[in-house]
Amino acid sequence: MTTATIFGKGNMGTAIMGIFEDADWQVQILDSKTTPSTTIEGSIVILAVPYPALTAITGTFSDQFKGRIVVDITNPVDFNTMDSLLPAADSSAAAELQTKLPDSQVLKAFNTMFAGNLSSKKVGPNQATVLIAGDSKDAKSELANVIKKAGLNAIDAGSLKRARELEAMGFLQLAMGVAGKLSFDGGFAILQ
Amino acid sequence: MTTATIFGKGNMGTAIMGIFEDADWQVQILDSKTTPSTTIEGSIVILAVPYPALTAITGTFSDQFKGRIVVDITNPVDFNTMDSLLPAADSSAAAELQTKLPDSQVLKAFNTMFAGNLSSKKVGPNQATVLIAGDSKDAKSELANVIKKAGLNAIDAGSLKRARELEAMGFLQLAMGVAGKLSFDGGFAILQ
């Protein structure tokens, strides 16, 4: 049986666990109490944690992440102002992560969806669609297969450079949600 | 009768003309043969031209644009590479335009929609929704009223700073369309 490792037991981590389970994957779920001695079991590792937590996790587990697919789902928003993203304007959280994990295949995915849409597999009347950016076609394809098997749609959004646009989109959606312009079971749907 | 001025007779200009006409506005439509002596009639001016054309138009008409709502719909993509946006990473075409037109109320709108969706007023089964960013609440409200009267939805996406995210979203959608990942009657739908 194939195994995924998910860091984070919040709304997003729980929803993504459901997707992997629906695709018949086993899930190792880790929380903030995880110690450096923990053995990472998953061929796909999902970092379903807030952006500031990425530094500590990569510091501890970069060796174990080698050769694995590492999925960044963060929306690295300045939550004090809700008015900007934290990474450099010409970069992204995912690009920063790839720099820290040169021997892993970093993907950006799930960040343009609210947790509720991942669970219901719908955005309004539309099938929920996960956009995936990354430089490894094989890694994107492996993650897309899991998502599609679970009953959602998945689209290759391009190279890891496109993580910048995915993070802009996730930020915009979140800011509009917080401002009451979107409901958290609505949001951005993608029609092919 | 209220009048809008539209620069540009391409797919987007034509679709936006249809929206204003459906909302019972009169439309003055201008093309590249427009001379500096042309009188701008519209209280709302839509610049439905490619990004590089903005410089010449603002150079010629900045005085006449004073006091008017000026709507930037561009996706300022480097079409040679389809791999980046042209404005500085921490700016946007709309922010540049506001700097050139300090006495106009610049809005970013329409750039996250394909022309076909503006004409059909649908994205898949969903009502087409125009996102509007800008620093003048009154200007956003005036444009939103036109769009809603024409049968589309419109949402205030925040201050003009959010044009950066709208341009990222428009670029991503366009890049995915060109890559064959989205059809040009599909794209991003917004569910409230």
Asked whether the predicted pLDDT for residue A165 surpasses 90, the reply is yes
Distance between CA atoms of A151 and A128, rounded to whole angstroms?
9
Which chain A residue has its CA at the smallest distance from B188's CA? A190
Q: What are phi and psi of B127, to 5 degrees?
A: -60, 135
How many Å lie between the alpha carbon of B168 and the closest alpha carbon of chain A? 5
Strands A69-72, A105-109: parallel, antiparallel or unpaired by DSSP?
A: parallel
Q: Once rounded to an integer, what is the mean pLDDT over residues A152-159?
A: 98
B154: which DSSP letter? E
Are B125 and A125 an interchain contact pair (Cβ–Cβ within 8 Å)? Answer: yes
Distance between CA atoms of B79 and A136, rounded to whole angstroms?
24
Asked whether the predicted pLDDT for residue A33 surpasses 90, the reply is no
Asked whether the predicted pLDDT for residue A149 surpasses 80, the reply is yes
pLDDT tens per residue across span B26-61: 999 998 788 899 999 999 999 999 999 999 999 999
pLDDT score at B184: 87
* Chain A residues touching B158 at Cβ < 8 A: 172, 175-176, 179
* Chain B residues touching A191 at Cβ < 8 A: 123-124, 126, 182-183, 186-189
pLDDT score at B185: 87
Q: Once rounded to an integer, what is the mean pLDDT over residues A61-82?
A: 97
How many Å lie between the alpha carbon of B186 and the closest alpha carbon of chain A? 5
Q: pLDDT-derived band of residue A38, with 50, 70 and 90 as boundaries?
A: very high
Q: Once rounded to an integer, what is the mean pLDDT over residues A152-175?
A: 98
pLDDT tens per residue across span A106-139: 999 999 999 999 999 999 999 999 999 999 999 9
Contact between B101 and B133 under an 8 Å Cβ cutoff? The reply is no
- Average pLDDT of chain A, as a whole number: 97
Asked whether the predicted pLDDT for residue B179 surpasses 80, the reply is yes
Torsion angle defined by CA atoms of residues B31, B37, B38 and B41, in that order, rounded to the nearest 10 degrees: 140
pLDDT score at A34: 87
A111: which DSSP letter? T
Q: pLDDT-derived band of residue A145, with 50, 70 and 90 as boundaries?
A: very high
Asked whether the predicted pLDDT for residue B1 surpasses 80, the reply is no
Distance between CA atoms of B130 and B23, rounded to whole angstroms?
15
Range list of H helices, A42-134: 54-65, 93-100, 115-120
Q: What is the percentage of chain A residues whose pLDDT exceeds 90?
A: 96
pLDDT tens per residue across span B89-139: 999 999 999 999 999 999 999 999 999 999 999 999 999 999 999 999 999
Q: pLDDT-derived band of residue B173, with 50, 70 and 90 as boundaries?
A: very high
Closest to A93 (Cα-Cα) out of A167, A155, A24, A170: A167
Structure tokens that stand for A42 in this block: 């998953």
Structure tokens that stand for A32 in this block: 């903030």
Positive/negative CA dihedral, B54, B69, B154, B165: positive
Contact between A145 and A75 under an 8 Å Cβ cutoff? The reply is no
pLDDT score at A26: 98
Q: For chain A, which domains are there?
A: 3-178 (3.40.50.720)
Structure tokens that stand for B148 in this block: 């809603």
B164 touches chain A (CB under 8 A): yes
Q: pLDDT-derived band of residue A184, with 50, 70 and 90 as boundaries?
A: confident
Asked whether the predicted pLDDT for residue B170 surpasses 80, the reply is yes
**Helices A93-100 & A163-178, crossing angle to 10 degrees?**
130
Output A31 or B107, whichever has higher pLDDT.
B107
Q: Please compute, for residue B182, the number of CA atoms within 13 A of its CA located in the half-sphere on the CB side.
A: 29
The amino acid at residue A69 is I
pLDDT score at B32: 74
* Chain B residues touching A141 at Cβ < 8 A: none
Contact between A183 and A117 under an 8 Å Cβ cutoff? The reply is no
Global pTM value: 0.97
Torsion angle defined by CA atoms of residues A100, B82, B131 and A78, in that order, rounded to the nearest 10 degrees: 20
Which chain A residue has its CA at the smallest distance from B163's CA? A172
pLDDT score at A96: 98
* Chain A residues touching B168 at Cβ < 8 A: 164-165, 168-169
